[in-house]
């Protein structure tokens, strides 16, 4: 599963250095005649078990390198701290949105020389996943497990409302419009005798992980790619107007009360799995969670998945999907960068990548896979989500070092709109006013850094 993980301010990281140093690993002297590569990864649970199996496979199928896998919480912050302290791991498994800020901070090394040496190119990957690691024309990371999103829907609730249980999949030859979804959501929704929401057809706040990105579904952009924040783009305003329509329809108190009654994501009381939310934007990981916490939905075929809807006036936006990924990087100052890349090279091979992605019930970011990868994958939606990522309307977080601040501003705008404390235009104007000076300062700092590097 992917999510936006934010860096702590660098100054705070230094202040925490003494406290955090106790978690650092002191690399011992080894007598097995192998180069020991220290690999930090954030996964726990079944995802952690998966990467351990892959690392064990690598360690037993060659005798020159030994990968020492360590599970590190808050890895994006601790890796930056380790780089600053001169004691980083050799490989760090970060989140996709981390890459730009790490590259800006010179905290990870460019992989270009290795890619050239071993003939690894963009054509080996689903392009959107390779591009996550590209910053200013250099490659700073390669993907490990990828993700894309789509619309999961409860077939039983559609059927109970007297509708085709596969309507989102079949509508307009597989392309379902937002207007049609809104009508179906209203038809499925149920209120009790006091007008309180009991079953929701769809809510943009459930699960609420992509508050920053709704504008893309309406043709909006968050910056012009050069020097201008575009929060007030008409597509962004339209998206927030759509978001506010749910508060107008059901009332903010009613929505808040309903959502407070939903259980945790990883539980049988999850809104979708408990039958309280009929449609939800989710990712490739979701089938696995359904199998764990609501196996009856799979046994009775009560779920379905389809491309997320688009506005009827914008058929060019069909298939819009959020994409993100976990990534592999070599931190600046790594003791064994060459050996580290040998391990990464294995991870990027069909054998290593397909093993990991299959064990995590996900699709692969590679174009060419081990024969039978999708036929044998435990997740029947894996191929569908890979195809989603191959479309022309993939959406990834903008490559800005100020992205953590930008997402916070957009989250505040989302709250303003959904709580009816301002109009969508007012909320986005506030974001524009806040973020443009920060972008100006960021670009100024980047120019000074590049000028100094060129001079040196």
Contact call for residues 285 and 147 (beta carbons, < 8 A): yes
Q: Angle between the 337-347 and 350-359 helix axes, to the nearest 10 degrees?
A: 70
Q: Give the structural domain span for 152.
A: 148-216+232-321
Predicted confidence (pLDDT) per residue in 264-299, tens digit = 999 999 999 999 999 999 999 999 999 999 999 999
**Residue 264, CB half-sphere, CA atoms under 13 Å: how many?**
3
The residue that leads in pLDDT, 15 or 308, is 308
Predicted confidence (pLDDT) per residue in 74-131, tens digit = 999 999 999 999 999 999 999 999 999 999 999 999 999 999 999 999 999 999 999 9
Does residue 227 lie in a domain region? no
Predicted confidence (pLDDT) per residue in 11-28, tens digit = 444 444 434 444 444 445
Into how many domains does the chain fold? 3
pLDDT, position 18? 39
| For residue 338, pLDDT beyond 70 | yes
> Based on the domain organization, do 447 and 330 belong to the same domain?
no
> Based on the domain organization, do 156 and 295 belong to the same domain?
yes
pLDDT, position 282? 98
> Based on the domain organization, do 345 and 438 belong to the same domain?
no
| For residue 346, pLDDT beyond 60 | yes
> Based on the domain organization, do 124 and 154 belong to the same domain?
no
Which of 321, 348, 367 marks a domain boundary? 321
| φ, ψ dihedrals at 70, nearest 5° | -130, 135
> Based on the domain organization, do 198 and 55 belong to the same domain?
no
| For residue 7, pLDDT beyond 90 | no
Assign residue 42 a region (left: φ > 0; alpha: ψ between -120 and 50; beta: otherwise): alpha
Predicted confidence (pLDDT) per residue in 33-85, tens digit = 899 999 999 999 999 999 999 999 999 999 999 999 999 999 999 999 999 99
- In angstroms, rounded to a whole number, what is the distance separating the alpha carbons of residues 142 and 140? 7
Give me the CATH number covering residue 27: 3.40.190.10
Does residue 1 lie in a domain region? no
Does residue 411 lie in a domain region? yes
Q: Which residues contact 223 (CB under 8 A, 6 or more apart)?
A: 229, 230, 398, 400, 439
Band of pLDDT at residue 172, cut at 50, 70 and 90: low
Contact call for residues 263 and 269 (beta carbons, < 8 A): yes
pLDDT, position 410? 98
- What is the CB neighbour count within 10 angstroms for residue 304? 19
């Amino acid at each position: 599963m992917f999510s936006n993980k934010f860096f702590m301010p660098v100054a705070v990281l230094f202040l925490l250095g003494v406290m955090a140093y106790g978690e650092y690993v002191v690399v011992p002297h080894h007598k097995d005649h192998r180069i020991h590569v220290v690999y930090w990864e954030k996964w726990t649970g079944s995802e952690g078990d998966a990467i351990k199996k892959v690392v064990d496979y690598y360690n037993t199928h060659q005798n020159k390198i030994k990968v020492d896998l360590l599970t590190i919480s808050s890895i994006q912050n601790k890796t930056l701290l380790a780089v600053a302290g001169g004691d980083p791991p050799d490989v760090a498994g970060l989140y996709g949105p981390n890459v730009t800020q790490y590259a800006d901070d010179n905290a990870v090394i460019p992989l270009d020389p290795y890619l050239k040496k071993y003939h690894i190119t963009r054509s080996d990957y689903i392009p959107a996943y390779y591009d996550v690691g590209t910053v200013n024309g250099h490659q700073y990371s390669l993907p490990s497990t990828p993700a894309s999103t789509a619309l999961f829907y409860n077939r039983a609730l559609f059927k109970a409302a007297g509708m085709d249980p596969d309507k989102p999949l079949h509508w307009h030859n597989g392309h379902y419009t937002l207007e049609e979804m809104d009508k179906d959501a209203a038809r499925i929704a149920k209120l009790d005798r006091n007008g309180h929401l009991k079953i929701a057809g769809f809510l943009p706040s459930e699960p609420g992980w992509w508050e920053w990105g709704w504008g893309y579904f309406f043709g909006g952009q968050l910056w012009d790619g050069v020097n201008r924040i575009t929060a007030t783009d008409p597509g962004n305003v339209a998206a927030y107007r759509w978001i506010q329509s749910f508060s107008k329809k059901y009332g903010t108190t009613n929505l808040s009360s309903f959502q407070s009654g939903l259980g945790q994501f990883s539980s049988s009381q999850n809104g979708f799995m408990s039958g309280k939310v009929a449609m939800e934007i989710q990712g490739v990981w979701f089938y696995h969670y359904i199998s764990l916490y609501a196996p009856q939905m799979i046994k009775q075929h009560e779920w379905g998945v389809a491309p997320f809807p688009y506005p009827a006036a914008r058929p060019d936006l069909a298939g819009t999907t959020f994409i993100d990924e976990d990534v592999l990087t070599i931190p600046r100052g790594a003791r064994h960068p060459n050996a580290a890349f040998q391990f990464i090279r294995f991870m990027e091979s069909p054998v290593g990548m397909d093993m990991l992605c299959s064990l995590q019930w996900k699709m692969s970011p590679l174009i060419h896979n081990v024969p039978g990868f999708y036929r044998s994958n435990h997740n029947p939606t894996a191929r569908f989500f890979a195809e989603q990522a191959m479309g022309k309307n993939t959406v990834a977080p903008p490559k800005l070092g100020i992205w953590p601040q930008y997402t916070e501003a957009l989250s505040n705008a989302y709250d303003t709109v959904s709580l009816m404390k301002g109009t969508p235009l007012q909320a986005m104007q506030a974001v524009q006013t806040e973020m443009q000076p920060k972008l100006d300062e960021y670009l100024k700092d980047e120019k000074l850094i590049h000028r100094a590097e060129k001079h040196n």
